[in-house]
Structure formats: C-alpha cells, structure tokens
Structure 1
Amino acid sequence: MANDVCATGSSRLTIDLDAIRANYRLLAARVAPAACGAVVKADAYGLGAAWVAPVLRDAGCGIFFVAQLCEAIALRAALGTAGDIFILNGLDPGCEALCADRGFVPVLNSASQVARWRALARERGSALPAALQIDSGMSRLGLDAAAVEALTGDAGFAREVPLRLLMTHLACADEPGNPANAAQLARFAAARALFPGVPASIANSGGSFLPDGFHCDVARAGIALYGAPPSALAEGLRPVAALSARVIQIREIGAGTGVGYGLDYVASERRRLATIGIGYADGWPRHLSGRGAAWHRGQRLPIVGRVSMDSLTVDISSLPDDALAEGDSVELLGPSQSLDDVAGDAGTISYEILTQLGRRHRRLYVDGAQQ
C-alpha cells in the first residue's frame, strides 16, 4: 500500500503497520489491567495518523491523545465514531465551543483553561467533561498544588466539569533509576486522593516499563508504539520505520579535493563518492555532516562533507566498484541502523528524527497481517 504524496520521490519511507499493532499489544499486556491509550500527536510521530490510528483502533485501543484541536479534528475523520480523543495541550482561547461540539476531551492545564471551560458549561447550562493535568514536578504543563486544592473546595467545579481523567507527566521515565520518578508518583498520589473515583494516568512509554504502581488506570503509549525503546527496560518492541534513498551520482575524486558546502571534507587520497537524494529538507539532520552514515549490504558508508537541503555525499570506497550504481538505494533506517543509532550520531533523540521526516519521501505502508 502506498500513498501519493510523492510517489516518485528519491527516498522511500516504509511503515510497518503490523509492527505498530504488535507493539501496541505488547504495551497493553505490559500495563494491564490498566487501559493502554495511544499518543498519535504530530501526525502519529510523523508516520501518518490517518493510517496508524485505525490500526490501533482495530487492535483494541479506545483512547487517543493528540496535542492540538486541529489534530483531534483530523483524527476523528480517520477513526470514525470510535474512541475517545484527549487534547493534551488544552485549548487556545476561543476554541472551547468547537471542542465541545465535536465531543473531544480537553486536558485542562492551567487556571485560565479551567475558567474558560467552566464559563462555556455555565453558558450552555450543561456539564462539560474534561481531563485535568497536575504538575507533579516537571514544571511544564499542569496545575500546581495550590490550584488543585482550590478546585477541590469548589463544589461548582465538580458539577460543571465532570473529570474523565486526572493526569501528570513523568520527566525522567527514560531513566528508570532516577529518584524523580518516585517523587513525582508520590506527589501525584496525594493529588489523586483529592479526586476519589477519577481515573488516573501518569505512565508514558517509559512509565509503562516502570513498576506496576506507575500504570494507574490509563497508560499513554507514544514513542514505543513506533518502535523506539523509551528506556533500557523496554524489550520486545519491533522497528516500524525503514528509510532508503537513491544514489543520484557516483564520482571519483583525488587527494586534496574538497566535498560539499564549505569544503569541510578534503580527501587525503583517491576516494569514490556517491551523492544520495536526501537532505535536511527531508528531515535528515544537518548535524549528521561528517558523523552519520548510510549503509549498503551491511557496509557502513560514512557521510563526508555537509548534509545539504536535498542531498548528502557518502564515501563508497570500501565497496566493490560494481556494488552501487546510479538509481540504486542505500539504507538510512533499517536492520543496520536504528532510530537510536541515527539520533546518537546527530546528538539528539529518536523522537526528533522520527517526527522530522519530511513529506517528500515515497511512503509505503505495509501490513503483513493483511497479506
């Protein structure tokens, strides 16, 4: 199955839908009896929510998380009527009525978001469900302890805003031994006690591999769904994305010849080079210049010179002369090079590599379970 965004692109991104299904089932079993929700924000981490979300729905997922209202609207079109959709960032001022009309569940992160949502409930004369985020120590989103306590003493809040979920976010779930995890869990437990009977959620992908006490009622699986281990404890996840790109030119250069913008790389001896049709406009980081690599049949081909907007150059001197020709493809993500490998070379994280992959790749969605 392929889409038509760029059917003739020089690079091909293959998304394994069966791997996503398998990863979801592994995570769901890991956190049971808690429910396992799916984070499909940023277009399912760049892999295409319109393709990914229905697979997760059919695998049994009934809870989905996005970051913005526009993502929720697009996701509902992909999912149909099935599944609850939570908006993690809450709502921009003026978007409350649209959110309520569409039946989405906003995550209220601040006193002002709470006030606007309550105002709409009073205006309409009907309760409007929401989720509430507590800041348990990350200092990013969520109400502080004083604001939470004020809400618990406000009888009108419970009438106007029946809570569907109480949540917080772990800052260090990718470091299982970090004491911040236990500290956040303790603070969240104190907040939960103020809202008896409300389902709770603290575990992200990394939290799903922490002890059972972190799983609460709902886990929010994100990067693990897409095949990147969120911590050293995560085992059994299947890679989801594979990326290859075509050779557009092969040349030989002599000693003293520079390569690419700035001529940062200068050959010390005769070298054979291949220019590959992928660059930072396709989400392949410029920080891989002189550090990253492509692969061909298990052979590492180092990037020489700078990654350009639409191309990069690799040294193929280690290959037989007839091993690569113009039009052939090299591996960028696959059996020889994982997301974490690329992220390490680029000095970043797998999340950034995945979400930055551009729209020029020819996308091929494969599903072994449907074949």
Structure 2
Amino acid sequence: MTDDYAGGRLTIDLGALQSNWRTLSAISPASECAAVVKANAYGIGTAQAARALAEAGATTFFVAHPSEAKAVREASSDAVIYVLNGLAPGACGALAAIRARPVLGSREEIDEWTAFVKATGADEAAAIHIDTGMLRLGLGPDEAQELLPRGLGFRPSLLMSHLACADEPERPETEAQRAAFVELQRLLPETPASLSNSAGTLLPKTSGGDLGFDLRRPGVSLYGSMPVAGRPSPLKPVVRLDARVIQVREAPSGATVGYGGAERLKRPTRLAILSLGYADGVFRAGGSEDGAPGATAFAGDAPCPFVGRISMDLIAVDVTGAGEVKRGDWVEILGDHVGVDALAGACGTIGYEVLTSLGRRFARSYVG
C-alpha cells in the first residue's frame, strides 16, 4: 500500500530548520550553537535533520540514546556527538566505536569511563554534567567539589548543566543556576562550558550575566516552537500536517457528536470527518465539549473548529462556514494558520509533546 491513501500528510521543511538554526546562532555569535536532535529530531527524522543542520553549519549535536548517536554519525562523519542520558553500563566500547561522547553525571559513570580509557589507552573525550538546580541528572555541587579538583582519567571536553525555569523569564531560579554554574566552572577552568537550552538561547541574559558560555544547546526552538510564552517568535514553522476529509455530512441542531455525546450542536451544522485521531498524535484533550471549545483546523483560510471528542482514528470538524469542502479534500491541522504552540495550547500541553508525538501513519515528505 502506498502513501497515496494515508489519512494525514506531514510536510517537513528542512530549509526552515536550517533558517531557525542560523537565527538562533546569530543571537549570541560568540557562543557556538549546537543542535539537539534527540527523540527522532523532535519527530521530524534524525538522519534528515542532522544532515540539514550540518549543511547549515552545525558541528555539535546532542542526542539522548546511543542508537540516536549512531543515526547522527551515519548522517555526519565529522560531527561531535554527545549522549545526554549518560553512560549505560557496559556501553563504553559501543560509544567509542561511533565516536560519541557520553555526558557523565554520576560517580559511577565517571569511574566506568575512566577505567575504559585507562584499559584501552584511547583518547576518548566525555562531558561532565553538574546539577545546579534541576535535581534530575548530574553531579551535585558537593560531589563536583570532591571529584573534579582531583583530576579525571580522561579528557573532559565539556562542562554542562541544564536550566529548569528559563521559559519563565521572571523566575529567579535561572540567575541562581547561572551563578552556581559559574562557581562550579572554576573547578575545570580550561573546559568549554554549556548551560543554555532553547529558552536560554532565545533569552540569553539574566540580571546577573550571560547564559551563553561557550556552547548553547537549542532543541525545540529549532523545530519552530517558541518555548517562551508571550514573546514574538523569530522562528519559522518546520512541520505542516494536513488531514484527509473522508466524509461530509449534515447534522441537525440538537444532535450530539462523537463518543459520549460530549458536544450538542446549537445549530444545523455541516461536519467534515477527518482521517486522523489521537493514534496519530492529535491529543484527545484537543476535542470540544459543550461550553469548552477545542482545537481548530483550517480549510483554506476558513477556521473549522473541532467538534466533540477526538477518536483514535477520526476527528469531526465544523465546516459550515468553510465554503465547499468535499470528500478527498485536505484540511490543515498544523501549518500557516495553526502553529505547533497553538495546537499544543488547545490540547493542554506543550509544543515538545506535539512534535514528538506526531504519528507514523502519515505520508511524510521533505522540502527545502
């Protein structure tokens, strides 16, 4: 079966991806702009994204798992690749074979990598992750103070931490993390340092100083999502999703639509049924109920509100005011009228989750 009969078309603009990397790189030109391509490059395809970003000028990439590092290495033979989720037990040889660098965040990981380097005699670099307030991964400040001054048995190529609240600029925690990072950076003064994620890249300063350091690690912003709410976005949309209309029907006032009869129609309504559902990553929370609107699709320039609950494979939208909409037409779910963050807001979630949840049943194409 070919993609000609898919219920959804996902179009990925690699030119927009490259443009976003250049935009983010220009914000703090004294600091290298890396690219985070974990989670299948936020849903758009690891190999395709890595190749496009390398062509744009990115030389350093971050992934979460060794399998993702392998995909990036296959796409770029000379990229510097860091594995954010640390060092899985016994994984030293596998990472060294593809020239991927683990981000070490515990005493156990540091000891295992040190033993591997000593045993093989290889010059294998790795990053050190210190925790400045996220309480997720990384050496605590006391551990860092104990371990790092005594010297490491390998070449530390990066000292990094991760911002917890940078998407809320008024929060004081970001400046507290920056100050803590500066203090701990003194333990490895010759090692390049990295603190900023997407939000820290887009808002590169706090009251106390610059967040850029030597290298920034934007992720979701590369793919067109603006992680800082209420700010104008300099980013281009990277993904477009269109859904196929499989039936158009007339419904009388007072009729209920979908599971549970969650929405009762207030007027005679023309409904288009789309071949798309929560199995494709359009979250069930984006449906509507009486008195509570949901997400909105577009037929051309005409808004078409979701009607009733989203099913696994189907969504009903109101096309009463959309002109001629017929079986076989395509309706925009993400695109010129509906950005990733707008759809996320309608579904009560964030752009990260929308992008990484886009389903496997779509017909995918790459442009740009």
Paired with 1:234 and 1:330, the residues of 2 have a C-alpha distance of 26
TM-score norm. by structure 1 comes to: 0.93
Note if 1:263 corresponds to 2:266. Answer: no
2:44 is paired with a residue of what secondary structure?
A: coil
* Aligned match of 2:291: none
Look up the match of 1:182.
175
Q: Deviations over 1:263-307 (max 9, x none)?
A: 222223322111001111111111111111211122221111111
Equivalent residue in structure 2 for 1:297, among 297, 300, 306: 300
SS at match of 2:34: strand
Is the 2:201–2:218 contact (alpha carbons within 8 Å) kept by the matching residues of 1? yes
| TM-score calculated relative to the size of structure 2 | 0.93
- Superposed displacement of residue 115, structure 1: 1.8
Specify the alignment match of 1:307 in structure 2.
Answer: 310
Kindly indicate whether the alpha-carbon contact (under 8 Å) linking 1:6 and 1:359 is maintained by their aligned counterparts in 2: no
Question: For residue 354 of structure 2, what is the aligned residue in structure 1?
Answer: 353
**1:49, 1:126 → 2: CA distance?**
28
Q: Which residue of 2 aligns with 1:251?
A: 249
Alpha-carbon displacement from aligned partner over 1:60-85 (angstroms, at most 9, x marks no partner): 11000000111101111122x12101
1:90 and 2:86 aligned: yes
Say if 1:307 and 1:17 are closer, same or farther in 2 by CA, change over 3 A. Answer: same
Q: Distance in 2 between the 1:199 and 1:190 partners?
A: 14
The higher relative CO (CA closer than 8 Å, separation ≥ 6) is in 1
Stretches of structure 2 lacking an aligned partner (at least 5 in a row): 289-293
Contact persistence 2:307–2:316 (CA under 8 A): yes
| Residue of structure 1 equivalent to 2:190 | 197
Deviations 1:180-227 (A, max 9, x none): 111000000011011011000001111112227110000011111111
2-structure distance, mates of 1:121, 1:154: 17
2-side partners of 1:275 and 1:222: how far apart?
34
Contact 1:142 1:168 in 2 (8 A): yes
Q: Which residue of 2 aligns with 1:326?
A: 327
Gaps of 5+ in 1: none
Could you tell me how far apart the structure 1 residues matched to 2:259 and 2:101 are?
49
**Higher deviation after alignment, 105-114 or 292-301:** 292-301
The answer to whether the Cα contact below 8 Å between 2:134 and 2:162 also exists between their aligned partners in 1 is yes
Contact preservation (8 Å) 1:7, 1:363: no
Structure-2 change in CA distance of 1:332 and 1:178 (3 Å) = same
How many residues align structurally?
Answer: 358
Aligned mates of 2:272, 2:10 — CA distance in 1: 20
Q: Which amino acid in 2 is paired with 1:204?
A: N
Q: What letter matches 1:311 in structure 2? A: L
Check the 8 A contact 2:303/2:322 in 1, yes or no. Answer: no
Q: What whole-Å deviation, never above 9, does each CA across 1:203-254 have from its counterpart, x for those lacking one? A: 1111112227110000011111111122255642111111111100011122
Give matches, 1:1-371, under 5 Å.
6-79=3-76, 81-155=77-151, 157=152, 160-209=153-202, 210-211=204-205, 213-231=210-228, 232-233=230-231, 235-290=233-288, 291-320=294-323, 323-367=324-368
Q: For residues 108 and 310 of structure 2, what CA distance do their matches in structure 1 show?
A: 44
Q: 1:234 to 1:170 in 2, by over 3 A?
A: farther
Say if 2:270 and 2:319, in contact at 8 Å, map to a contact too: yes
- Post-superposition, which runs of at least 4 consecutive aligned residues in structure 1 deviate over 3 A? 4-8, 232-235
Q: Distance in 1 between matches of 2:170 and 2:224?
A: 22
Task: Name the CA shift for 1:5/1:37 in 2 (closer, same or farther; >3 Å).
Answer: farther
C-alpha change, 1:65 and 1:253, in structure 2 (3 Å) is: same
Give CA-to-partner distance per residue, 1:114-159, whole Å, 9 cap, x none: 122122123224443110011001111111011101212423x2xx
Deviates more, 1:93-102 or 1:132-141: 93-102
User: Residues 69 and 91 of structure 1 are in contact (CA less than 8 Å); yes or no, is this contact kept in structure 2?
Assistant: no
Report which stretch shifted further, 184-193 or 123-132: 123-132
Aligned equivalents of 1:357 and 1:131: distance in 2? 31
- What percentage of residue pairs aligned between the two structures are identical? 42
Q: Structure 1 CA distance, aligned partners of 2:58 and 2:104? A: 23
RMSD (Å), alpha carbons: 1.6
Q: 2:149 touches 2:187 (CA, 8 Å); kept in 1? A: no
Name the CA distance, whole Å, in 2 between partners of 1:295 and 1:126: 57
Is the contact between residue 310 and residue 316 of structure 2 (CA under 8 Å) also seen in structure 1? yes
Q: Do 1:343 and 1:350's aligned partners in 2 also have CA atoms closer than 8 Å? A: yes
Q: Which range moves more in the overlay, 222-231 or 118-127?
A: 118-127
Return the alpha-carbon distance in structure 1 between the equivalents of residues 363 and 89 of structure 2: 38
Q: Aligned equivalents of 1:105 and 1:265: distance in 2?
A: 52
Can you list the C-alpha shifts for 1:91-136, whole angstroms capped at 9, x where unaligned?
Answer: 2212122112221100001122112212212322444311001100
User: Structure 1: how far apart are the matches of 2:328 and 2:365?
Assistant: 18
Aligned partners of 1:126 and 1:16: how far apart in 2? Answer: 40
Mean Cα displacement is larger for which, 250-259 or 12-21?
250-259
2:224 and 2:260 map into 1 onto residues whose CA distance is 36
